[in-house]
Amino acid sequence: MSDCLPCDLEAAESSAIIYRDETWSCEIADGYDVPGWFILRLRRHAEGWAGPTVEELSGFGPVSQKLAAAIQSATGAIGTYFMSFGENYPHFHFLVIARGADLPPDSRGAAILARRADDRDLAAALTVGASVRYLLTAPTP
């Protein structure tokens, strides 16, 4: 374990890995294991928007688009939040969160982060993750 959570996710258990290619990875992270919450990250350690190369960033849009579609399909969410602060971990990454239709107004936007402590449920998060992983790997009709 390092002091960089996104780097440590490289060693995540297979059940927590939702998507991987040579450059990008998406996992369910310990401590952020709320159903419908994921971490999308550059696999190598690079900091902020200046860190990734243009080539690496060219894959970010398509991966994000596919991930958002799979999350919304798997969860019935009406949207997908992509949040990146770079505050605790400067490693280029996003917290990707399914935004359910029933989310109370006072939890919308960045306020959803306050739900983390109460909504953590690893088993349920892994179940949702398995559905998202399936949708990302299923052949398109």
Chain positions contacting Zn ion, by CB under 5 A: 4, 6-7, 45, 91
Q: How far is CA 5 from CA 9, 11, 90, 93, 103, in A?
A: 6, 10, 10, 10, 27
Closest approach of Zn ion to the CB of residue 119, in Å: 26
Closest approach of Zn ion to the CB of residue 77, in Å: 28
Nearer to Zn ion, 91 or 99 (CB): 91
Closest approach of Zn ion to the CB of residue 84, in Å: 14
Nearer to Zn ion, 29 or 77 (CB): 29
What is the DSSP track for 26-94? EE--TT---TTEEEEEESS--BTTTSS-HHHHHTHHHHHHHHHHHHHHHH--SEEEEE---SS--BSEE
Closest approach of Zn ion to the CB of residue 95, in Å: 15
Nearer to Zn ion, 59 or 79 (CB): 59
Nearer to Zn ion, 45 or 116 (CB): 45
